[in-house]
Structure 1
């Protein structure tokens, strides 16, 4: 049980549309809602709705991992949030297994890379990103129904005061999860208040084509925006055209990457992005121009590149994010 946000945090299961999700610190909500409901009742009828804010962080894990990897991060988020803020607004976290991961594995080999023998690596990776995004949308849509917080309000206060719950959704993802939360925010910007991609990439076509072509770090091709290239300009061999990187796939992914680069809701969503300077699997330079656009469009956003880190979510990344988060989320 949680004690004012410190000590041991509660953990419970929420089964949403066939997806088992895990809720952390949810036991703090009943007392908070009852207190806010009493305040609303004493205020009497008002012209504006009485808002009850709630901070909910959804954490998406990386390829080859399970919800347990983001569970550890969730506990760190909770500990540091309550250490760094005096706000009464509760903070809860949600994790779940990605598609084809953990308890949801269908075929483990399809989580593999080209090097591991999965010829469908590119299509498997990106289709999984979208599948996870759809699962995340499902959980976000239905979590209020499972929580049923209206039940804890005093009788009649919802109608009298027009009480509404303001869910502030914080999306945090690591690696594959980082790719996912970026795309989720592009697809459903109205559902995202804070974006926290960790060692993720905004341009998956560039990431995958560099990986497929084995582009060296010193090559001029390394950081090209491949989503602006026609399929014929990629100079792929027969094997790549047949299975590894189909033309229909490039057209689909390139169009999405271009849209993310040109039309992302930068100004609407606050972002704190983290990268490892020595990350060779998902080089931070692939997202540099996009991140620069973000920082120039949203003055509340920040990016942290850790000089001694590779492809990993480090304690420093978590600490800097939570320090940044408490400055903005309750304002």
Structure 2
């Protein structure tokens, strides 16, 4: 995964260089609420960059390990990693056999516009269908601040990815887990996808009295699911 913590330009900065100036941007890990106006772009570029990194690994690993002829790639992640895991099968469908998403989201347009306090009912739609709304229509309901935080180019990029996950996601085994009281990535943004694809091999576990975390119960369920995956 790409660095989800502090980022440095160089650890070999001259001694005359103040420690804080080594950071490319201390704000890059903060949210809109905490003063980072570029939060949407920072988060989505981090997710996309990580997905491309994993695609590179899956593509080139067989070249590094020619003694192996069969590879079983199972993508899994928690939180940011969960968002990446949702994007991987759509990005490189022929190389991902199964996936585990813990507190991740298949519809980041819905999630991010919810954080921006966009009301889908004003647009006569639902949260899960916000990615289908043309930006010109969406922008007509947004404040100047909201449009700055969710620019047209970003909106188009995320909407295209959400459409691919909703409409072209490969039919692979999935284990989806989340906390019922998660305030950061509410499970209500995953539920419509699960209902729409109910005929697939999808296990959806929502844990009561749980927020934005990967619990020991989730880890146990994950282990059992992985054990069963190739035993059938």
5+ long unaligned stretches in structure 2: 10-23
CA distance in 2, matches of 1:221, 1:211: 17
Q: Matched residue of 2:116: which SS?
A: helix
User: How many pairs were matched up?
Assistant: 213
Q: Matched residue of 2:210: which SS?
A: coil
1:185 matched to 2:89: yes
Partner residue of 1:328? Answer: 229
How far did 1:260 drift?
1.3
Residues 95-174 of structure 1 mapped to structure 2, 5 A cutoff: 97-99=1-3, 101=5, 106-146=24-64, 148=65, 150=67, 165-174=69-78
1:198 matched to 2:134: no
Q: Matched residue of 2:71: which SS?
A: strand
Structure with greater proportional strand content: 1
CA distance in 1, matches of 2:145, 2:128: 22
Partner residue of 1:306? Answer: 207
Match of 1:317 among 202, 218, 222: 218
Match of 2:153 among 220, 242, 248: 248
Partner residue of 2:177? Answer: 274
Greater radius of gyration (CA): 1
Match of 2:167 among 258, 262, 266: 262
5+ long unaligned stretches in structure 1: 1-96, 151-163
Match of 1:238 among 139, 144, 161: 144
- Alignment CA distance shift 1:329-1:314 (3 Å): same
Q: Normalising by structure 2, report the TM-score.
A: 0.82
Residues 7-46 of structure 1 mapped to structure 2, 5 A cutoff: none
CA distance in 1, matches of 2:8, 2:126: 35
Deviates more, 1:271-280 or 1:288-297: 288-297
- Alignment CA distance shift 1:195-1:108 (3 Å): farther
Partner residue of 1:81? Answer: none
Q: Matched residue of 2:190: which SS?
A: helix
Show CA shifts across 1:172-216 (max 9, x none): 11111111111111110111111001000000011000101176x
RMSD of the TM alignment (CA)?
2.4
Q: Normalising by structure 1, report the TM-score.
A: 0.59
Show CA shifts across 1:272-295 (max 9, x none): 110100011111011111122333
